[in-house]
Chains A and B, each alone.
Chain A
Amino acid sequence: MQLAFLCFLPFLASIFNGFWYLFAKKPWKMAAGVVSTLALFTSFCLASALAFHDVTFSLPWIATGSFELPFVLRLDHLSSIFVLVITGVGTLIHIYATVYMAHDSGIQKFFAYLSLFCGSMLVLVLGGSLPILFCGWEGVGLCSYLLISFWFDDSEKAKAGAKAFIVNRIGDVGFLLGMFVLFQACGSLDIETLTHAQLSPTTVLIACSLLFFACTGKSAQIPLYIWLPDAMAGPTPVSALIHAATMVTSGVYLVTRLHVLFDAAESLHIVMATVGGVTAFVAATIALVQDDIKKVLAYSTVSQLGYLFLACGVGAYEAAVFHVVTHAFFKALLFLAAGSVIHGMDGEQNMWKMGGLKKAMPVTFATFTLGWLAICGIPPFSGFFSKDEILFHTFTSGHTGLWALGLVTACMTAFYMTRLYIVTFLGTKHTHAHESSWGMLAPLCVLACLSALGGIFGHMISHTLAFHAEAESSQLEWILMLVSACIAGLGIALAFFMYDESRQPIRARIQKQYGWLSTALAHAWYVDEAIDLVLLKPLRQIYGFVWRTIDVLCIDGFIMLLASGGRASGDVLRLIQPGFLHISIACMVMGAFFIMGYMVYGQL
């Protein structure tokens, strides 16, 4: 029962805020944020109380004939971790957002959407059967649409929301089809039943491939990652919550939840790992030349998500979950700090216009530093442990090529994050930016502590999840740890070298020589343009063609042909009519005589 409360409290807050927005626009709008925060915090408390117990909640939902689909929520070790992250990090972001959005006229609407999102995410994570998970899956898609296009007076922002929803929907088709395949093979969509069912390898492979395709949509992998950078059009707390901490991890959650099935789909492993690795690499390359703070962070998110799928592909599910947790901490921190910077700079997002914010925004600077160190993978911060574990498992499972790719990506990650750090905070340019209020800084501090100390969660996570037997800590592991740390350090050193103020001429020379590369990267390898050319333009032609040719020309044309045929034949036939009354009468009389004569003649 408490599980139901945990899950539904955010929905209640959402409905409350929604009604408030639509029907009673009173002052004290900021209270909308308080309502949502309290709801989510209560969920967090409930989650902490229930954590790591096995709790189930079930309501009848759809039942027709022999097919039953109850609304089942199930809490176990895996979902506990995710629920704690969602509610915990979510509460911090709610507190931040209450202050950040305080002056927005639609604040109640914002928190209605935000609570709706948290509720859907909880349904996703707690769902005990695939359709329930799918309900949460679509729900978070809806909320990301609503929240990305929150400032909809700008049609660009509105289009970004639509792009996110539609690309997610493409993945959802894969989810639906995967569900159908599983249902046909197994007769049930309950997750417990599925994990214990005996399914043929082909079925599992097909279903898992389809589900993985859905994950590429939600968790922004190649080929469906294109919505995430555009999604930065939304307010920064949205980017932090949805695109760093929660929604984008849904794909990883799905894989981990069904890890029994995914383990059985042998051929999919290398695909998943490769997709993850390549995504991580490509996204990191794009992040190298971005000028907008949020875009850098967006591509870095795509990159880190690539690491997650790399981990899942090699079977290191615990490492993936660990990295989800640490990523939630430091990425949320980075986004919120970026939001603080943008707030302090009165809306400026281009990092080249910033600089020297170290003095103007000390707390933001300190927290951002911790987040920066974490994401670069510097020991002993949390990011180091989680990323290293992924790379370790990649290496030990024999995928040395992918390991090398991951290492290079780590180097690039360190490089571009340091670049961001230097250009934004170091140097001496601006000093008139103002520090944010404590409402925004407090969550930053908490997240900074978590990013710094989060490494200790790793052991706990792999202990509770216990998917595979724990390996002994070997010498190889220490060597690889050293390698990772050195690579990260190398990246940082390179960035410091390149972006020191005195190196401007070197940078200019490199820019001139490799200008074509940096333009390509700045345009994200022209992927959006390519898709528009190859897919969208022809599709639009097809739609127009179907409408004009098939509907108007063929079908309607055929009907009109029948109609005009009828009219034409009527025009011809009416010529038979004499039109004169007396002639008609004469014909009638003659006809009568003929008939009578025929009958009389027949009698004779």
Chain B
Amino acid sequence: MASYSSHLLSLLVFLPAAAAFLGLGARGLGLLRRDVALWYGSLFVTVLTFGLGMMLSPNSEEKYTWIPQLGVSYALSLDGLSVWFVLLTLLVMPIALFASMHAIRDRVAEYCFHMLLLETAVLGSFLAADMFLFYVFWEVMLVPMLFIIGIYGGKERLFASMKFVLFTFVGSACMLVSIMVLVYMHKLQFGVPSSYLPDLLRVHGAIIPSRLLFSAFALAFLIKMPCFPLHTWLPDAHVQAPTAGSVILASLLLKLGGYGLVRIAFPLFPEAAHFFQPLGMALGATAVIYGAWVAIVQTDMKKLVAYSSVSHMGAVVLGLFALNSIAMAGSIAQMISHGFATGGLFLIVGMIYERFHTREIAAFGGLARSMPKMAFFLVLMTFASVALPGTSGFVGEFLILLGAWQTMPVYAGIAALSAIFGAVYMLKWIERILYGQAKSPSLAVDLSHREILILLPFTLGIFWLGLMPGSFFHQLEPSILKMQFFLTTGGYHHG
């Protein structure tokens, strides 16, 4: 079983890509002519990948040498930290595919191709243990996303997708330079270049260069998160993207920023992390309030949810830069919770759009009367977003604020105000659309069984993380402890 499980990770990562090419090729050869076959085929592949993922055991690793002259290895590893992100990915992809079945009508083959390729790229990013490999997957992730937004999106889709790609690219370019410097430094200090992450953790460097390198990494990850003030690509991307694209963007792509900070930036440069801690926490706290304030005045539903994402990821940044174990655990819980809650919100917004073909809040009213099931899910997701105890949002927010208070009470206090402002925009939104008099009653058809099925996993996820997070934190603990080791003792640099 050992050799089998050691290949499971690669199988997991590349199965969707292989299926993607197969599907496209089959369509090109005229084999899978009906769209339905492609949909269900892709759905099957994603569910199969999910099944494979359930067979994973944490702390598995796979490493082969790839380009010895550059020190690049092909290394995938799964530990308590990445397992939750991987599972989130495996859960979100089938749901996103299932949700787009009715929405995407033409160019279905390319759509399935892009989605499956995206799954591979995201899984690869979460599992990569080699910096070069990580960078490859990070960049590959942009291409299918560009096409998904650019082909299947709204009116201004080309602008939004270009903005998204260029924004992320700037950060990635800086990150690439940092990676190359690190590889070179490893060569200087140990004789051979290597981009394998555990090897790079042994590199020691002077203070100023390591701060610069950290800034480059942080830039890439903060753009991805997104953190104020580098967040303006997100509202445009979300508004123009199709529903499934938004769900994937919110639930998965945004998590990569946080994951990158925890996995790569902080362990490599602990001193720089401490140096930039005030700035990071300030940015996080600002983002929390800023996102909430801007969300209050939005008239487009998707933009409102997009800015709420900015607010939540600001809390994540705050928690991460607090650099203590409570806040870090809270940040990771908040990231997973945000994946559930905001993913669910985008799904619901998509369902509303499919019926009414508008996203303007002012055009709605009285939906709770005609669509009680949707109202239930919407209220649930909303309150999970607002960190109501019992939902996953509370677990994340509470731990973040508790941990952040230990380090810098002022910023934690500011971020706590998000309890008020979050409630303001969320309640304003749902009050406008759910309550009052109905505006277009004939279009308000309640959720079908398929749609309830789509929303169910996120709902269960919210309650699981909110009421029984024991297993979550249990898996996470070794990684958090390792993180603390790096941050407090400076890792291997002084050992």
CB–CB under 8 A between A and B in the complex? yes
Chain B residues closer than 8 Å to A181, beta-carbon distance? 405
B428 at the interface (CB under 8 A from A): yes
Rounded to whole angstroms, the CA-CA distance of A131 and B330 in the bound complex is 15
Instruction: Give residues 402-421 of B contacting A (CB, 8 Å).
Output: 402, 405-406, 409, 412-413, 416-417, 419-420
B470 adjacent to A63 (CB under 8 Å): yes
Rounded to whole angstroms, the CA-CA distance of A503 and B323 in the bound complex is 73
Q: If the complex has contacts A139-B390, A142-B388, are A65 and B477 also in contact, measured as CB distance less than 8 A?
A: yes
Chain B residues closer than 8 Å to A563, beta-carbon distance? 166
B293 adjacent to A556 (CB under 8 Å): no
B435 adjacent to A62 (CB under 8 Å): no
Rounded to whole angstroms, the CA-CA distance of A46 and B419 in the bound complex is 36
Min distance, Cβ A142 to any Cβ of chain B, angstroms: 6
B25 at the interface (CB under 8 A from A): no
Min distance, Cβ A603 to any Cβ of chain B, angstroms: 32
Chain A residues closer than 8 Å to B366, beta-carbon distance? 153
Chain B residues closer than 8 Å to A131, beta-carbon distance? 389, 398
B369 at the interface (CB under 8 A from A): yes
B390 adjacent to A21 (CB under 8 Å): no
**What total of chain A residues lie within 8 Å of the partner, measured CB to CB?**
54
B434 adjacent to A65 (CB under 8 Å): no
Min distance, Cβ B363 to any Cβ of chain A, angstroms: 15
Rounded to whole angstroms, the CA-CA distance of A543 and B469 in the bound complex is 36
Min distance, Cβ A380 to any Cβ of chain B, angstroms: 43
A388 at the interface (CB under 8 A from B): no
Chain B residues closer than 8 Å to A22, beta-carbon distance? 372-373, 376
B434 adjacent to A152 (CB under 8 Å): yes
Residue from B297, B395, B484 within 8 A of A547 (CB atoms) = B297
Closest to B467 in A: A61
B347 at the interface (CB under 8 A from A): no
B389 adjacent to A153 (CB under 8 Å): no
Instruction: Give residues 156-179 of A contacting B (CB, 8 Å).
Output: 158-159, 161-162, 165-166, 169-170, 172-173, 176-177, 179
Chain B residues closer than 8 Å to A547, beta-carbon distance? 293-294, 297-298
A135 adjacent to B294 (CB under 8 Å): no
**What total of chain B residues lie within 8 Å of the partner, measured CB to CB?**
61
Rounded to whole angstroms, the CA-CA distance of A132 and B394 in the bound complex is 12
Q: Mark A111-141, 1 if CB is under 8 A from B, else 0.
A: 0000000000000000000010011001100
A66 adjacent to B394 (CB under 8 Å): no
Q: If the complex has contacts A152-B434, A177-B413, A551-B294, are A166 and B402 also in contact, measured as CB distance less than 8 A?
A: no
A173 adjacent to B419 (CB under 8 Å): yes
Min distance, Cβ A516 to any Cβ of chain B, angstroms: 34
Q: Mark A433-457, 1 if CB is under 8 A from B, else 0.
A: 0000000000000000000000000
Closest to B326 in A: A67
Rounded to whole angstroms, the CA-CA distance of A149 and B394 in the bound complex is 24
Rounded to whole angstroms, the CA-CA distance of A177 and B420 in the bound complex is 13
Q: If the complex has contacts A64-B476, A142-B388, are A543 and B470 also in contact, measured as CB distance less than 8 A?
A: no
A63 adjacent to B473 (CB under 8 Å): yes
Chain A residues closer than 8 Å to B431, beta-carbon distance? 149, 155, 158-159, 161-162
Chain B residues closer than 8 Å to A109, beta-carbon distance? 372
Residue from B294, B406, B435 within 8 A of A153 (CB atoms) = B435
A64 adjacent to B232 (CB under 8 Å): no
B383 at the interface (CB under 8 A from A): yes
Chain B residues closer than 8 Å to A546, beta-carbon distance? 290, 293-294
Residue from A159, A169, A184, A550 within 8 A of B423 (CB atoms) = A169
Q: If the complex has contacts A138-B389, A170-B420, A547-B297, are A21 and B473 also in contact, measured as CB distance less than 8 A?
A: no
Residue from B389, B401, B436, B481 within 8 A of A135 (CB atoms) = B389
A176 adjacent to B419 (CB under 8 Å): yes
Q: Mark A59-87, 1 if CB is under 8 A from B, else 0.
A: 01111111100000000000000000000
Q: If the complex has contacts A135-B389, A547-B297, are A166 and B416 also in contact, measured as CB distance less than 8 A?
A: no
Question: 16 A-B contacts, Cβ less than 8 Å apart?
Answer: A64-B399, A65-B484, A67-B326, A67-B399, A142-B383, A142-B388, A153-B435, A153-B437, A154-B436, A165-B427, A170-B420, A173-B417, A181-B405, A546-B294, A555-B231, A559-B232
